[in-house]
Amino acid sequence: MPRKESPTAAPRRRGRPRASGKTDTRRRILDAAREQFATYGYAATTIRAIAAAAGVDPALVHHFYGAKADLFTASMQLPEDFVRSVSHLLLDTSQSAVGERLTRFFLNLWENSDTRRQLRMTVSSGLTDGQATTALREFVTAEILNPVVVASDRQDAALRLPLAVSHLIGLAMGRYILEIEPLAHADVDTLVAWVAPTIEHYLTGESPTR
């Protein structure tokens, strides 16, 4: 139950110290989470260790941020429902147009200027800082790739998803970071029209014959 108001939590207007105390605790937990993930990676970090580093009870960490995956996305300031949204899109290949829905979801994340700033930072640190790279890889693998691969009945599922994800990451690099023209100023619909069929193919199409 992330971010739900505790029944005993005082409304902010009751007084500055109490409200600020709660805000401080949340921030202390987030800082501890960033520190732990950066130092030990995603897989080896536990809610318990984060709570200890923040000097709070593990139950409070759960109360504020939910599961470890949610705490990780919160520590990267990504949308709260990021993992569930992506997983839902990737798992729901029964419907057609999964390529279009995934491509559009991904581009829309970057079109939002708040999310874009954070995604740029995540991508930059994930590509340049060895520890951040490890944490990002472990997170993506454990929370997004593996569950989808396990749920899929395709033998080559394990390669399909990284191909699709890599293509989308590259698109974001070219459009939002390197800002190569005319990619940087093409409208989203045009990009979706070009890229979605590729993503659809990687996720659900025929395997290549060699």
User: Which of the stretches 13-21, 58-66, 90-98, 196-204 binds a copy of itself when contact is defined by CB under 8 A?
Assistant: 196-204
Q: DSSP letters along 81-95, please?
A: THHHHHHHHHH-TTS
17 binds a copy of itself, rule: CB under 8 A: no
Q: Which of 181, 165, 158 is nearest to 106 (CA)?
A: 165
For residues 117 to 136, the per-residue mask of contacts with a copy of itself, x marking binding by CB under 8 A and - elsewhere, is ------xx-xxx----x--x
Contact status, residue 1 vs residue 66, Cβ threshold 8 Å: yes
Contact status, residue 199 vs residue 102, Cβ threshold 8 Å: yes
Looking at beta carbons only, is 65 or 202 nearer to a copy of itself? 202
DSSP state of 45: -
Binding residue for a copy of itself (CB under 8 A) from 2, 58, 147, 162? 162
Alpha carbon distance 49, 113 (integer Å):
33
Alpha carbon distance 136, 41 (integer Å):
8
147 binds a copy of itself, rule: CB under 8 A: no
For residues 47 to 86, the per-residue mask of contacts with a copy of itself, x marking binding by CB under 8 A and - elsewhere, is ----------------------------------------
Alpha carbon distance 137, 131 (integer Å):
10
102 binds a copy of itself, rule: CB under 8 A: no
Q: Which residues bind a copy of itself (CB under 8 A)?
A: 123-124, 126-128, 133, 136-137, 140-141, 145, 158-159, 162-163, 165-171, 173-175, 177-183, 186, 189-190, 193-195, 197-198, 201-202, 208-210
